[in-house]
Structure formats: structure tokens, C-alpha cells
Amino acid sequence: MPNNSTLLPIYDFSPSLNTSYLKKILPLLNEHQIAANPINYAIFYDYITEHNPSLTAAVNNLLNQGKPFDSDVSIELYGNYVCNASLESFDQIHTQINKVIRQATDAINETHSKAEQTNDSFQKKSVLLENTSEIADSQTILQEIIQETKALVVTSQSMQTQLNQANLEMEKLRTELNQVRQMAVTDGLTGLLNRRAFDQTLNEVIEQSGDEVTCLSMLDIDHFKGINDEYGHTIGDNVIKFVASLLKKHAEEHHHVARYGGEELAIIMPKTPKQKAIEISENIRIEMEKSRLKRKTDNLTLRQITISIGIAELQSNDDPESFINRADNALYQAKESGRNKVMH
């Protein structure tokens, strides 16, 4: 499964899993006469794994309309759905960083050149002073040395000013880069971790768990398709955002809350006993059950909306896939047994 550790996606290195993806991706690219370059392969990797509903919808739309996958289309899809961050933002920041570095380098080089010239001049004037007995001539030489020293001071001060400005610019760019990096791991609708950030975080938590108890809670909004059909997708999105706010409210500070995909959300709970995970999940379920959401346009109260939750506790032989599968199975049991339940 793909995940994202920094700005661009990296992927699961399971040979068997990726071989199965390869056997699906290449015929699909060939069928639609799409170049099998790295960008297109990354796009259809996500398309085949079905982890990215927005990308799936966009690709399906293009394929259904028979639109060509030229370089502009590929870059746009990759930038909007695979990278999850603006490629233009990276380009702008890269350009600005190069500009700041160039300006600072020019200032340093100018000061270094001026210092070398002044040093050469001082050495020559020292020789003149040693061989001059006339006071007037000595004063003239000393005056020239003083003037050159002042000029060097001015150049040094100018360099310091430019370096200070460069430092301010780099700090600003560092902030912008952090913002773009945050975009790369954040779900645009809910503000939670996105799927790639979830995958990366889960891998890290499993690797670092040691003897600590770790739990995973998977949550799904009951009858969500019916909500979209009855009230429209805008209301559906608002429902997802509301449920996300409940997760953030009840999860503990060291937990990791994510949008797993569509209407399915998750909480990675390191250092959390199973009973505590059940308690947190029940609090979320109960508050959702009691909530009566209203449509802003006409203040209409929506029908009762509930959620189902599945919980798994990390086992010593778990990898991310098996851990998720057990939480998903518990979620499935909650759905099958009547919904609006927490199963573990």
C-alpha cells in the first residue's frame, strides 16, 4: 500500500502485492494507449489499489470520455491526487531558495574580493611607509589606508545586511515549505491525516510499539450512500467533517486520527489498552447517536446518523495489512449485527 513520509509518495515493497498490481496496471495502460512512464504508472498504481476515490473518479471520467493521457493531463492528475501537494508550490519555493542563495553568495564573494584587494593595498602601503621618511608622505599613505579600511567596513556591513535579509527569506521559505509538507499529509475535507500519512504513521507505530499495547479503531458512517442520495453530496461531506471533529475531540493527544477513505475514518492508538480504546470509541459512537445535525440552508434536521466501529489490538506477528484487516473485520461484524455498534 502506498504511503507518504515527506512530500512525495513512497510505496509498499511487498513483491507479491506489487506483482499483482503490475499484472493489472500494464494491460490497462496498453488498452487505453497510455505511456507507461513513472508518472502514469504512479497514477494507475493508486487507481488499481482503489485507495484514492478522488483519483479513481477523475481517471474514470477521462477514460469514459476517451480523452488522451498527454503530459499535461498526467502532471495535473499527479499533482492533484497522487502527490497531494501543489507541484507549482514546490517550483516556486525552489526558485526562491535558489535566488536567496545566489544573492547571499554574491554578497560574500563581493566582500571577499574587496577584502583581498584591501589586503594587497595594505601590504604595498606598508612597504611605502617603511621607505618613506617624509611626514607629509606618511600622512597621505595613512589617510589612504584609513579610507580603504572604511570602504571595507561599508562592504562588510552591506554583506551583513544582505545575509540578515537572506536569513529572513530562508525562514519564510522554511515556513512555506512546512505548510506544503503539511498539505501533503492532510486530508483536504476533514483536516485529518490523509491515507498516505495514515499508512506511514501506522508503519512507524508498529515498528516502535515494543511491549506497549497499541490499538486501531476503524469507523464507518452507517448508510452513508443513503445520506448522499437523500440530502446531496455537500451534506454528505459535512457529515464526514462532523464525525471527524468527534474523533479529534475524543482521541487522546498521542493518538493519530485519519481519514482512511470515503466515509471511513480511523484512529491509531499507541500506548492504549484495549479497554481504553473501546471506551473512546463508545464515547464517539454515543455522541454521534445523540447528535441531530441540521442543514444550514433551511435549518432542516437530518435523520439520525450513526456510526459503526471495529477495534483491533496489535499482535506480535502483525504487519500493517493484517492489523488493518482485523479492525476491518470487527467493523464488518458491527455492520452485519445491526450497525451503530462497537465490535472488537
Residues carrying an active site annotation: 263
Angle of helix 135-184 relative to helix 87-130, nearest 10 degrees, comes to: 170
Maximum separation of any 2 CA atoms in the chain, in Å? 109
User: 60: buried, middle or exposed (CB in 10 Å: 19+, 13-18, 0-12)?
Assistant: exposed
- The set of residues, in sequence order, having a beta carbon less than 8 Å from that of 44 and lying 6+ positions away, is 25, 28, 29, 34, 59
Q: How far apart are the C-alpha atoms of 158 and 286, rounded to whole Å? A: 65
Q: Which residue has the cell 464507518?
A: 220
Phi, psi of 57, rounded to the nearest 5 degrees: -65, -40
Q: How far apart are the C-alpha atoms of 242 and 247, rounded to whole Å? A: 9
C-alpha cell at 131: 621607505
- Which one-letter DSSP state was computed for residue 290? H
Q: How far apart are the C-alpha atoms of 216 and 256, rounded to whole Å? A: 10
Q: How far apart are the C-alpha atoms of 220 and 92, rounded to whole Å? A: 39
Q: How far apart are the C-alpha atoms of 15 and 51, rounded to whole Å? A: 19
Could you tell me if 313 and 262 are in contact, meaning their C-beta atoms sit under 8 angstroms apart? no
